[in-house]
Amino acid sequence: MYEMTELWNFTIKDTMNINFDNPWDDNKKQQKDVENLIKDSKDAFFKMFNKQSGGNNKDKEPYGKIASAGSKLLLTCLFIVFGVWMLGGLYTVQPDEEAIIVRFGKYNRKASPGLNYKLPSPIEEVYKISVTTINNEEIGFRSASPGNADNKAKNTSVIKESYMLTVDENIIEIDFVVQWKVSDAYKFLFNVNDLRGENTVKTVAESAMREAIGLSKVTDALAEDRYQIEQKAKKILQDTLNNYGMGVEIVRVQMLSAQPPAEVIDAYRAVQSAKADQVNAINRAYSYSNDVIPRAIGEASKIRQEAEGYREAVVAEAKGQADKFNSICAQYKDFQAITRKRMYWDAMASIMKNTNKIILDSKASSVPILGLNELFNKKGSADSATQDGVNTSVAQAQPQYEKRVENKD
């Protein structure tokens, strides 16, 4: 009983001599770290057992030896436990991870990939976060199996997430996915803390898509400008998360489907079919106009060119006639008789050119001697006969005419 009392008094006394500094007190200029605290505790432990095993009472020597052996065994066990506890601070960081070390819940440092060491728990804790893993958030639906969102037959629709309002006040049902990864492990770990059942990235993504759809028309969202809407929603989402300081990078925003609600989809398809027919009719009209207008322009150009050619021909002919008249007039002044006779024969040739001609004997009666029209019309009409054929017919008829004239005489 005396030994236990003395041991207790010694323990309290020596323990009170240890300087336990408050590690959370920032006002002190010099603060001992955890290693010094462990060292002081170990020295006090050694003093306690040396005090217990020592003494000048010879009657208590056997008990002192037993106590000394027990102390050594206990000390050895404590050293083994302490060593195992210290070895628990070893950890490995993978190449795609960032490790954050906190000491007593406060950020202390980052660890690089590979084998690292920290003070064992609960002094220091390590949080490993993958910075290359692509995370998927599904908005408007839930896929039956992760990573199989394209299989629409097995997806479950979530109406409260998928129904959105366009700028022209039409309701549209949109299913889309957001792919993101951690860009800053420190910000991701400490700046935003999601409550149970909440997902900040998913909530902000839904809000960003509603804003992008609210600035677009229903026709743009359904067909024409889906890519622009995706990029707009991605920018809004990234800017919002950057304002939160969340340390997240948005990799992709993809709209899987965009369609009117099921209650009006038949009417919408009818409208779209009518619009398609309208577009086809307009295209046919443009095709017809593109065919007719160039041909009309070509024909008009041809007529203009023919008119210009006719004008040039008439003007040239008139000028030629005028020049001819001026030439004849000049000749008539010098040679009136000859010029008058020439003009007479030219006029007669012009007049008799297209008339029926009969040759008569001046001494005979009015019975025709030779009908030249019959010769001209033997091989066809007078308009289609050639000049060579006429000359041949006249040459053949001339001997007969001369013979008849001789017999007449």
- Quick: pLDDT tens for 120-173: 888 888 888 888 889 999 999 888 766 555 555 567 888 888 899 989 888 889
Positive or negative, the CA dihedral 61, 67, 70, 72 is: negative
Mean pLDDT of all residues in 204-221: 90
Q: What are phi and psi of 178, to 5 degrees?
A: -125, 125
Query: In which band, very low, low, confident or very high, does the pLDDT at 387 lie, cut at 50, 70 and 90?
Result: very low
Q: Cis ω on the peptide bond leading into residue 368 (within 30° of 0)?
A: no
Looking at residue 36, its pLDDT comes to: 66
Report the chain's mean pLDDT, rounded to a whole number.
75
| CA distance to 46, 113, 182, 245, per residue, from 62 (Å) | 20, 56, 66, 69
Listed range (14-28, 179-193, 251-265, 358-372) with the worst mean pLDDT: 14-28
The residue among 399 and 69 whose pLDDT is bigger is: 69
* 103 contacts 121 by C-beta, under 8 angstroms: no
- Quick: pLDDT tens for 218-248: 888 887 788 899 999 999 999 999 999 999 9
Distance CA 63, CA 402 (A): 188
CB-based burial label for 301 (10 Å; 0-12, 13-18, 19+): exposed
Q: Which of 30-39, 70-79, 272-281 has the highest mean pLDDT?
A: 272-281
For 96, the token pair is 């795609």
* 164 contacts 210 by C-beta, under 8 angstroms: yes
Query: In which band, very low, low, confident or very high, does the pLDDT at 205 lie, cut at 50, 70 and 90?
Result: very high
Distance CA 156, CA 145 (A): 11
Q: Cis ω on the peptide bond leading into residue 294 (within 30° of 0)?
A: no
The residue among 297 and 404 whose pLDDT is bigger is: 297
- b/e 71-108 (16+ beta carbons within 10 angstroms → b): beeeeeeeeeeeeeeeeeeeeebeeebbbbbbbeeeee
For 104, the token pair is 């007593």
Residue 33 reports pLDDT greater than 70: no
Looking at residue 145, its pLDDT comes to: 67
Q: Give the DSSP H/E element, type plus range, for residue 37.
A: helix 34-53
Query: In which band, very low, low, confident or very high, does the pLDDT at 55 lie, cut at 50, 70 and 90?
Result: very low
Distance CA 214, CA 220 (A): 11
- Quick: pLDDT tens for 1-27: 334 434 334 333 344 444 444 444 443
Listed range (185-199, 242-256, 366-380) with the worst mean pLDDT: 366-380
The residue among 297 and 157 whose pLDDT is bigger is: 297
The runs of H, that is alpha helices, within 180-335 are: 185-190, 200-214, 218-219, 226-244, 265-334
Q: Give the DSSP H/E element, type plus range, for residue 7.
A: helix 2-17
Residue 68 reports pLDDT greater than 70: no
Residue 47 reports pLDDT greater than 90: no
Beta-bridge mates of residue 255 = 176
* 115 contacts 105 by C-beta, under 8 angstroms: no
Looking at residue 202, its pLDDT comes to: 92
CA angle 258, 262, 264 (to 5 degrees): 100
Q: How far apart are the first and last CA of the chain?
A: 199
Distance CA 213, CA 225 (A): 11
Looking at residue 2, its pLDDT comes to: 39
Is the pTM higher than 0.75? no
Nearest CA-CA partner of 359 in 314, 318, 400: 400
Beta-bridge mates of residue 103 = 106, 124
Looking at residue 257, its pLDDT comes to: 87
Residue 250 CA, distance from chain mean position: 17
Looking at residue 58, its pLDDT comes to: 47
Residue 39 reports pLDDT greater than 70: no
Distance CA 91, CA 117 (A): 6
> How are beta strands 370-371 and 358-359 bridged, if at all?
antiparallel
Looking at residue 45, its pLDDT comes to: 57
> How are beta strands 141-142 and 135-139 bridged, if at all?
unpaired
Q: Which of 143-152, 208-217, 264-273 has the highest mean pLDDT?
A: 208-217
Strand, helix or coil at 327?
A: helix
Mean pLDDT of all residues in 390-394: 44
- Quick: pLDDT tens for 85-113: 888 788 888 888 888 899 888 888 888 88
The runs of H, that is alpha helices, within 88-169 are: 159-162
- Quick: pLDDT tens for 313-370: 999 999 988 888 888 888 778 888 887 888 888 888 878 777 776 666 666 555 554 5
* 92 contacts 114 by C-beta, under 8 angstroms: yes
Residue 382 CA, distance from chain mean position: 79
* 243 contacts 250 by C-beta, under 8 angstroms: no
Residue 179 reports pLDDT greater than 90: yes
Looking at residue 408, its pLDDT comes to: 43
